[in-house]
């Protein structure tokens, strides 16, 4: 086994192991992250994994066509979505047309996140952001089969996963609609699991549900709501919880690849979604802190799909240049890489919870943080 060559820089997008004719590539776990590994005994040295890789051989370039602020008409859907509920509108439309929807859902209870389909789980389980690295598995092969069988497909995943899917398919399918999001990176699944263990001890029961974007304190505040099997809950704002803090506030728990992600500026998807945080400064759209999506049609097909959901979603056209602020490459601050390396080293030696410094999240800190956040000063 080795992980040489193309896998030196890898987003784990899934293109190679979906394409490999002899299934020589599999995803293993190292101390903190998932890593695709080649079984050299099975490998035919055909080189297809290297040419299909969107990191190794980038080629695609789509341009945003139009940008919108978008809010689903059904308030219950907005509440059960991370931002404005656009994904659910696209998904409903696909199902109405007899199609199939792929997205991220929890698996093994809540121990991992996998890309799966509306044939496997109800649609509401595909909604909402799960802030942990997801596994595409062999879902791309399944998508190809569905498309070849004449079915419409909506696939919504991270930008690297959509790049992987498109490169795996190798050609455009009229019946395929792809959707990704402005991605702040994929956090380590190992840190996530250690956090779940810590929560289980705190709640005195295994964790039964994780909701990363409950709108308990409003959309802008970002909270997490965890439920134990005994019905007890753990609800925190993003700065009050070690896992959320390391991801949303500090970005230090994400994979190496995410720090230099080339898909931040090169989205292969037809539609790009994001939280429309700047709704006040670049538009007059408001929704009482319930959530607004920034929706970018990134192809003519994407633009047609937007027109098709106009009956369920309130759309306001935005200035394209100002609206794509979210998609520009994020600047890495000085000293960030060194601080992150030290944190990862601590995670390896002491475990995530001790590395993240749980003392910081005591009641005094939380009280101060909560008051400041609710007064809008954070
Ligand atoms: C890891 C991650 C990081 C993000 N970072 C940012 C950011 O920095 N800035 C920003 O504006 N928006 C970010 N988003 C996107 C944002 O949180 C919303 O998902 C987006 O605005 C769509 O909201 P919605 O209400 O339309 O749909 P939702 O119902 O929230 O749908 C979300 C879609 O994302 C998919 N998804 C959820 N979790 C995962 C996962 N782990 N892997 C792959 N696909 C997943 C779901 O399948 C679903 O299709 C991020 C999302 C994720 C998952």
Compute the distance between CA of residue 239 and CA of residue 241 in angstroms, rounded to an integer: 6
**Domain final residue, candidates 309, 327, 345:** 327
Q: Is residue 60 part of a domain?
A: no
User: Measuring CA to CA, how many Å separate 202 from each of 71, 207, 222, 223, 365?
Assistant: 37, 10, 21, 18, 18
Q: Determine, yes or no, domain membership for 61.
A: no
Residues 128 and 88 in one domain: yes
Report the CATH number at residue 47: 3.30.70.20
Is residue 295 located within the same domain as residue 359? no
Q: What is the pLDDT of residue 299?
A: 96
- Whole-number Å distance between alpha carbons of 148 and 277: 39
pLDDT score for 3: 47
Mean of pLDDT values over 145-171: 97
Query: Which DSSP letter does residue 247 get?
Result: I
Closest to 35 measured CA to CA, from 11, 18, 52, 15 = 11
- Cα 131 to ligand 1 centroid, rounded to whole Å: 8
Q: Compute the distance from residue 294 Cα to the ligand 1 centre, in Å.
A: 12
34-38 and 176-181 strand pairing: unpaired
Quick one: CA torsion of 213, 219, 221, 222, rounded to 10 degrees?
A: 20
Residues with CB under 6 A from ligand 1: 81-88, 103-104, 113, 126-132, 134, 156-158, 181-184, 186, 273-275, 293, 326
Give residue 222's pLDDT.
Answer: 86
Residues 272 and 322 in one domain: yes
**Co-location of 295 and 263 in the same domain:** yes
Q: Tokens at residue 98, please?
A: 């007899």
What pLDDT is recorded for position 370?
Answer: 74
Question: Are both 133 and 240 inside the same structural domain?
Answer: no
Domain count, the chain: 3
- Residue 103 alpha carbon, nearest atom of ligand 1: 47
Do both 31 and 128 map to the same domain? Answer: no
Flag whether 314 is in a domain: yes
DSSP 132-180: S-EE-TTHHHHHHHHHHTT--EEEE--HHHHHHHHHHH-S--TTEEEEE
Position 365 pLDDT exceeds 60: yes
Domain co-membership, 92 together with 157: yes
3-state secondary structure of 34: strand
Closest residue CA from atom 50 of ligand 1: 183
The pLDDT of residue 348: 95
pTM, full prediction:
0.94
Share of the chain above pLDDT 90, in %: 76
| 297 within a domain of the structure (yes/no) | yes
- The answer to whether residues 241 and 261 belong to one domain is no
Residue 362's pLDDT band (cuts 50, 70, 90): low
Q: Domain check: are 94 and 169 in the same one? A: yes
Both 179 and 194 in one domain: the answer is no
Tell me the two tokens of residue 187: 């956090």
**Domain assignment present for 58:** no
Last residue of a domain, one of 290, 309, 327: 327
- The residue segments making up the domain with residue 29 are 5-52
Best residue among 33, 81, 82, 213 to mutate for probing ligand 1, ranked by most atoms within 8 Å of CB = 82
Residue 59 falls within a domain, yes or no? no
| 276-324 pLDDT tens trace | 999 988 888 988 899 999 999 999 999 999 999 999 999 999 999 999 8
Sign, Cα dihedral of 110, 113, 119, 122: positive
- What ligand 1 atom has the least distance to the C-alpha of 82? 30
- Ligand 1 mean position, distance from CA 286 (Å): 20
Tell me if 28 is assigned to some domain. Answer: yes
- Between the CA of 128 and the centroid of ligand 1 the distance, in Å, is 6
Separation of 139 CA from ligand 1 center, angstroms?
18
Nearest atom within ligand 1 for CA of residue 291: 25
Give the atom of ligand 1 at the shortest distance from the alpha carbon of 104: 47
Asked whether residue 1 carries a pLDDT value surpassing 50, the answer given is: no
- One domain for residues 119 and 17: no
Q: How far apart are CA 100 and CA 62, in angstroms?
A: 24
More reliable by pLDDT, 356 or 333? 356
**DSSP, res 246:** I
Task: Among 72, 104, 181, 210, name the best residue to mutate to test ligand 1's pocket (greatest count of ligand atoms within 8 A of Cβ).
Answer: 181
Q: Rounded to 5 degrees, what are φ and ψ at 66?
A: -155, 155
Q: Tell me the CA–centroid distance for residue 249 and ligand 1, in Å.
A: 16
Return the structure tokens found at 44: 């035919």
291 inside domain: yes
Whether residue 312 sits in one domain with residue 234: no
Nearest CA among 99, 127, 93, 86 for reference residue 297? 86
């Amino acid at each position: 086994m080795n992980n040489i060559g193309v896998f030196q820089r890898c987003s784990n997008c899934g293109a190679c192991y979906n394409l490999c004719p002899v299934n020589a590539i599999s995803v293993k776990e190292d101390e903190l992250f998932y890593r695709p590994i080649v079984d050299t005994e099975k490998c035919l040295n055909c080189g297809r994994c290297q040419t299909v890789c969107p990191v190794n051989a980038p080629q695609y370039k789509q341009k945003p066509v139009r940008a919108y602020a978008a809010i689903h008409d059904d308030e219950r859907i907005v509440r059960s979505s991370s931002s404005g509920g656009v994904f659910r509108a696209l998904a409903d439309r696909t199902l109405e047309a007899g199609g199939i929807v792929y997205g991220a859902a929890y698996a093994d209870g809540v121990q991992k996140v996998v890309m799966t389909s509306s044939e496997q789980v109800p649609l509401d389980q595909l909604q909402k952001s799960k802030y942990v690295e997801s596994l595409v598995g062999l879902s791309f092969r399944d998508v190809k089969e569905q498309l070849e069988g004449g079915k419409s497909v909506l696939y919504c995943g991270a930008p690297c996963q959509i790049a992987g899917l498109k490169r795996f398919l190798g050609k455009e399918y009229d019946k395929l609609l792809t959707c990704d999001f402005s991605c702040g990176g994929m956090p380590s699944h190992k840190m996530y699991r250690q956090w779940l263990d810590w929560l289980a001890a705190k709640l005195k029961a295994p964790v039964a549900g994780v909701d990363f974007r409950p709108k308990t304190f409003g959309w802008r505040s970002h909270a997490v709501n965890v439920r134990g099997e005994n019905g007890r809950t753990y609800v925190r704002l993003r700065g009050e919880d070690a896992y959320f803090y390391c991801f949303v506030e500090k970005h230090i728990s994400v994979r190496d690849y995410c720090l230099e992600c080339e898909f931040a500026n090169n989205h292969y998807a037809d539609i790009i979604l994001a939280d429309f945080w700047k709704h006040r400064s670049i538009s007059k759209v408001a929704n009482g802190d319930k959530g607004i999506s920034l929706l970018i049609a990134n192809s003519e097909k994407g633009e047609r799909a937007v027109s098709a959901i106009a009956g369920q979603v309130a759309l306001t056209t935005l200035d394209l240049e100002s609206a794509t602020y979210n998609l520009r490459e994020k600047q890495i601050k000085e000293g960030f890489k060194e601080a992150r390396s030290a944190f990862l080293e601590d995670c390896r030696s002491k475990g995530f919870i001790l590395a993240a410094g749980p003392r910081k999240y005591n009641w005094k800190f939380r009280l101060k943080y909560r008051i400041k956040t609710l007064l809008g000063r954070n």
